[in-house]
Amino acid sequence: MVFLSQSSKFSKRILGLSFLALVAISVIFYLLYSYIDGNKDLYVIATLLLIIVTILLIAVLYLLWTKAHDGYIKSELINDIDKLEKSLEKANLLVDHKSVYLANMSHEIRIPLNAVLGMLNMLKKTNLDSDQMAEVEIAQYSSEHLLQLVNMILDNAKFEHDNTNLNLVVIDLESDLSKLFKVLEYQAWDKNLDFEFKFLSEKKPKFLLLGDLSRIQQVLINLINNAIKFTHSGKISVTIHQTVSNDDNQIVTFYVKDTGVGLSPFEVKKIFKISENDDVSTMKHYRGGGMGLSISYKLVKLMGGELELESKENEGSIFYFSLQLKKTLNLKTEIKEPAVDLLNKFDYKFSVLVAEDNKINQKVIKFLLEQQGADCTLVRNGLEAVKLYSVLDFDLIFMDIYMPEMDGYEATRTIKATDKYARTNTPIIAVSASAFEADIQKAKLSGVDDFLAKPIGTDRLKELLVKYSPQNQPI
């Protein structure tokens, strides 16, 4: 409307100038006619000239009007582009603020979770009776559930930002998913719901599969959390069905069934329509905001499947999807757990420098490392780590990233610049509760050899200790 109004004003100005020009020409030719009134030949010539000049004047005015109008349109388009660029800049700024907020939230939650899980792990090593052990395990699974919820939020946010890449890894469905289901089982029990999960196949598979395990887990977490949230009594059932296969591929179907509130046929259609159109604003009436369902729908589609739903009001819902996963050429082999004293055989004691500013987390990582036979030396910041490294010898360094006085990035660069490091080449492992891909890449750019995320998992810690143990390093 603003454009039409401005364009109308512009046209009136052109018409006004054209009218004044015609009046001026008419006056000139009136005076000319008055001068040649008695000569008919000059009168005809003057008339022809008047017609020609009028035509030329109209043509010139038209060209001027067209050029001026095009310039005006161009100016308006430039203004619109500027406005769009500013709007895009504001939108990108909001996205950046959201990413920073999520990163900070992840870091702040993971730090106390690391302490809680670490202390529970320490408590399990003490002399507990059966009831006390059960209580500790419930607390541990509850803490892991909280960690899983944090990861779900972060994974969903990450998918919104970058939803184009699949990370294919070797998958052992039963082994990789059972632990996840055990965590969710405690969440269901907390609501007095029965929870079961089962893996169905014609015969025990002798092969592994290739797929995006993290995406599959993300979808299952979204669907199962959703089922538990909207089921107030009854049962949650998860079934992994893999009976259809050929020489190269395995069809795997995932079912999540609940006895919850259910959905009407209209609501079912609405959910998938919303998922396709990226509009989740109205889904809050059906499934608590719908973001998890919408992202799950897109994730399944990204992996080559289709998320489907069967539901009846007040009876429950079944969400299911099928994926075609490639079989690996490797035969399935038993994976041996590394022994607790793997790094301490032959009574060898290896020394570890740990830079960590949080006192509780110091106790946690010290306990976990000592369980593996480490002799730990603790410091509170990067500056102390650099000073101590210069006077004592260590087989391994665990470097927290965010510390006062000198952070882990600078401390790592300083240590690696020393003559001592050039001789010893001591492995440095970054430790952080902020475990985004950008954090990992930044840590590696600073020179660390590997990355350990908080909360610290025992299996991951063992893996790193085996990899960087002194006896495995080249002489």
Residue 123 lies in a domain: no
Helix (H, G, I), strand (E, B) or coil at 218: helix
DSSP 8-state assignment for residue 393:
-
Residue 439 lies in a domain: yes
Are both 320 and 405 inside the same structural domain? no
Are both 214 and 85 inside the same structural domain? no
Residue 53 lies in a domain: yes
Q: Distance from first CA to last CA of the chain, Å, rounded? A: 78
Instruction: Give me the DSSP letters along 127-151.
Output: ---HHHHHHHHHHHHHHHHHHHHHH
How many domains in the chain? 3
Are both 322 and 458 inside the same structural domain? no
Are both 159 and 283 inside the same structural domain? yes
CATH of the domain at 352: 3.40.50.2300
pTM exceeds 0.85, yes or no: no
Are both 387 and 320 inside the same structural domain? no
The reported pLDDT for the residue numbered 2 is 42
451 DSSP β-pair partners = 430
Range of the domain at 361: 342-472
In single-letter form, the type of residue at position 392 comes to L
Q: How far apart are CA 217 and CA 222, in angstroms?
A: 9
Are both 175 and 278 inside the same structural domain? yes
Which helix (H) or strand (E) element contains residue 225? helix 213-229
The reported pLDDT for the residue numbered 3 is 43
The reported pLDDT for the residue numbered 102 is 63
The reported pLDDT for the residue numbered 281 is 43
Are both 177 and 65 inside the same structural domain? no
Question: How far is CA 112 from each of CA 109, 119, 201, 228, 361, rounded to the nearest angstrom?
Answer: 6, 11, 41, 26, 8
Helix (H, G, I), strand (E, B) or coil at 414: helix
The reported pLDDT for the residue numbered 44 is 65
Q: Which of 331, 352, 377 is the last residue of a domain?
A: 331
Residue 134 lies in a domain: no
The reported pLDDT for the residue numbered 329 is 66
Are both 317 and 355 inside the same structural domain? no
Q: How far is CA 44 from the centre of its chain?
A: 84
Helix (H, G, I), strand (E, B) or coil at 352: strand
Residue 124 lies in a domain: no
Q: How far apart are CA 196 and CA 185, in angstroms?
A: 8
Strand duo 235-245 + 194-201: pairing: parallel
Residue 450 lies in a domain: yes
Q: How far apart are CA 96 and CA 248, in angstroms?
A: 43
355 within 8 A of 399, measured Cβ to Cβ: yes
In single-letter form, the type of residue at position 111 comes to I
The reported pLDDT for the residue numbered 395 is 92
CATH of the domain at 316: 3.30.565.10
Per residue in 299-333, pLDDT tens? 898 899 989 888 888 888 999 999 999 888 655 44
Q: Which of 331, 364, 391 is the last residue of a domain?
A: 331
Residue 141 lies in a domain: no
Are both 243 and 321 inside the same structural domain? yes
Omega prior to 338 cis, within 30 of 0:
no
pLDDT along the chain (475 residues), means of 10: 49 63 66 59 64 71 71 77 77 63 66 75 79 74 69 63 72 86 81 90 76 87 88 92 80 92 80 54 43 79 89 89 84 47 52 88 85 89 93 93 88 93 92 75 87 82 85 53
Residue 201 lies in a domain: yes
